Structure 1
Amino acid sequence: MRQLSINRLKQGDVLGRTIYTNDGRVLLGRGIALTPSFIKRLSKLGITIVYVDDEETKDVVIEDVISEEHRREAMSSLEYSGQAVQLGKDFDGFKVKKAVNNIIEDILFQKEIFISLTDMRSYDNQVFAHSVSVCVLATVLGKALGLDQNNLEALAIGALFHDIGTVKLPKTLLSKREVFTPKEARLYETHTSEGFDILRSKRELNLLSAHIAFQHHERMDGSGYPRKLESDGIHQLAQIVGIADFYDNLVNDGPGHSRILPHVACEILMGCSDKLFSHDLVVTFLKHIAAYPTGCTVKLNTGEIGIVVDQNKSLPMRPIVRVLLAGQDLNQVKAKEYDLVKERTTFIEAMLE
């Protein structure tokens, strides 16, 4: 399996992962051969990245850190809760807890976690997919830090609902990809206070989750919002969600910005350590992130084009890359692999979309 930009898809490409709507329904199932009309439809939906199966990468397995069922369940729970808030109704906090604890169990079950999967997001499910991704990223970091079950649950719920306050904002603002005007930025910033008010009213949820929603945009140097808190004035759980939110926003389209490539995002996040975020938290977080996700296409300094087929978890910037070589018989193609930990003079020059 490998990752392809929507612009590189062609008729006959076989979908490698199922694409879902925000309420968990199947949009296109794994194994479907793509037609021009399918590709056009995916593009209209705003999906920029898909996974395909082909002969060259049929042995490459890209696993999610949580099950598809639990990811869909969390998205559905978030959508239900957001709709209830918009209608001025209450939502079932115990149902939310169940969805979150399934995510926690999936993550705790795994001995080693290395996140290498890119979300296939549409305009329709972008907000929900982002929130679930932040929940997963934050929980992985929380596990690495040795948080106990109660704090992990408060963290995961706060992460899943960190942007719940955006249900009070205009949809036009949330769908904007250009940089916000000062007035739009001030309006967007109100989502932290709105989120706090929504979550603190839920007695079945830990009040820490409400504080996470309130503080996840605070930064160590005091440049964040809404209260411009500094350093230890920001709760550790909120700092964790802040890092997860910051990274996921970098690698995916979102309100007021468009995506950048994962290895660039890792460099930016590292550059923010000791300024916006705790250095130790950033270093621990990046130990679990693939700078070059498995399945992506890269260009090497040798001039060769290859596909990342595996990771070196101790050195995330040096994965294993498979390049395809045409023999004298052009119908005969063989593969060569570079383990960039061993091939020290070979390195990735660019990641290709």
Structure 2
Amino acid sequence: MRQISVNRLQQGAVLGRTIFSHSGRVLLGKGVMLTHSYIDRLKELGISIVYVDDEESKDVVIEDVISDESRREAINTLEHFAEAVRIGKELSGFQVKKAVNNIIGDILFQKDIFISLTDMRSYDNQIYTHSVSVCVLSIIIGKALGLDKETLEALATGALLHDIGTVKLPKDLLAKRDVFTAKETELYQTHTIHGYDILRTKNDLNLLSAHIALQHHEWLNGSGYPRKLSGNRLHTLAQIVGLADFYDNLVNDGPGHNRIVPHEACEIVMGCANKLYSQQLIVTFLKHIAVYPTGCTVKLSTGEVGIVVDQNKSLPMRPIIRVLMSDKEMSHVQAKEYNLIEDLTTFIVTMVE
């Protein structure tokens, strides 16, 4: 299995991972052969990346850190929670806790976690899918930092609901991908306060979730929002969620921005050490991120193009590459692999989308 830009999809490609709607409903199932109409529909939905199975990558395994069932339940729970907020309906936090504990269980079950899967997001499920990913990343950081189960649950709940305040914002603002105007930025930033106001009234949820929603855009140097808090005035759990949110927004399309590739995002995150987030937090986080995700296509310094088929977790910048084609002729060549830890003179020039 490998990931590919929707713009490069061809009729007959076989979908390698199921694509879900905002409610957790299956839009297209794994194994579906894509037609022109399916591909056009994916573009209309705003999905930019999909996974396909083909001869060159059929033995490449890209594992999610949580089950499809846990992810689908979390997305569905978020959708119902958001709808209840919109119509002013009281909603028990039981389902949120259940969804959160399923994700925590999936992650605690695994010994070594290395994030290599990129989400397939549409316009309608971007906020929910983003929130689930931020929850997953936050739990991974929390686990690595040795947080106890109770604190992990508070962290995960706040992470899953960190953007709940966006339900109070106009839908056209949330769908915008161009850079926000100053007025739009000011409006968007109110989602942290809305989130706090929504969550602080939920007696069956840990009050920390409200403070995480309020503080997840605050930065160590005091340049964040909404209150420009700095240093030890920031809650540690909010910093964890903030970093997870920051990275996930870099590598995925979202309100007011377009995505960049993971290795560029990792460079930006490293540059934020002791400015936006503590160095310890960033070092811990990056130990669990694939700089070049398994299944992505890359161009090598040799001029060859290949896919990342495996990771060297001790040195994420140097994965294992299977050559697919000549960059000049773009014709299939006999498959060969480079282990970049061993092939020291070969390096990745860029990702190809």
Q: Common fold, TM-score beyond 0.5?
A: yes
**Structure 2: how far apart are the matches of 1:349 and 1:296?**
13
**Structure 2: how far apart are the matches of 1:232 and 1:314?**
32
Aligned equivalent of 2:251: 251
Code of the aligned partner of 2:60: V
For residues 260-339 of structure 1, the aligned pairs below 5 Å read 260-324=260-324, 333-339=333-339
**Structure 2: how far apart are the matches of 1:40 and 1:242?**
35
Q: Are the aligned partners of 1:157 and 1:209 in contact in 2 as well (CA < 8 Å)? A: yes
Code of the aligned partner of 2:222: G
The alignment's TM-score, normalised by the length of structure 1, stands at 0.97
Aligned equivalent of 1:199: 199
**1:316-336 residue CA offsets vs partner (Å, 9 max, x unmatched):** 11110000368xxxx985311
The SS at the match of 1:288 is: coil
Code of the aligned partner of 1:110: Q
Q: CA deviation at 1:177?
A: 1.1
The SS at the match of 1:4 is: strand
Code of the aligned partner of 2:70: H
Aligned equivalent of 1:127: 127
Aligned equivalent of 1:220: 220
The SS at the match of 2:222 is: coil
For residues 1-353 of structure 1, the aligned pairs below 5 Å read 1-324=1-324, 333-353=333-353
Code of the aligned partner of 1:95: Q
Give the aligned CA root-mean-square deviation in angstroms.
1.3
**1:58-101 residue CA offsets vs partner (Å, 9 max, x unmatched):** 10000000000000000000000000000011112011000000
The SS at the match of 2:56 is: helix
Moved over 2 A (4+): 331-334
**Structure 2: how far apart are the matches of 1:220 and 1:325?**
46
The SS at the match of 1:85 is: helix
The alignment's TM-score, normalised by the length of structure 2, stands at 0.97
Q: CA deviation at 1:114?
A: 0.2
Unaligned 5+ segments in structure 2 are none
Code of the aligned partner of 1:141: I
Code of the aligned partner of 2:339: D
Unaligned 5+ segments in structure 1 are none
**Structure 1: how far apart are the matches of 2:299 and 2:256?**
30
The SS at the match of 2:334 is: strand
Q: Are the aligned partners of 2:92 and 2:204 in contact in 1 as well (CA < 8 Å)? A: no
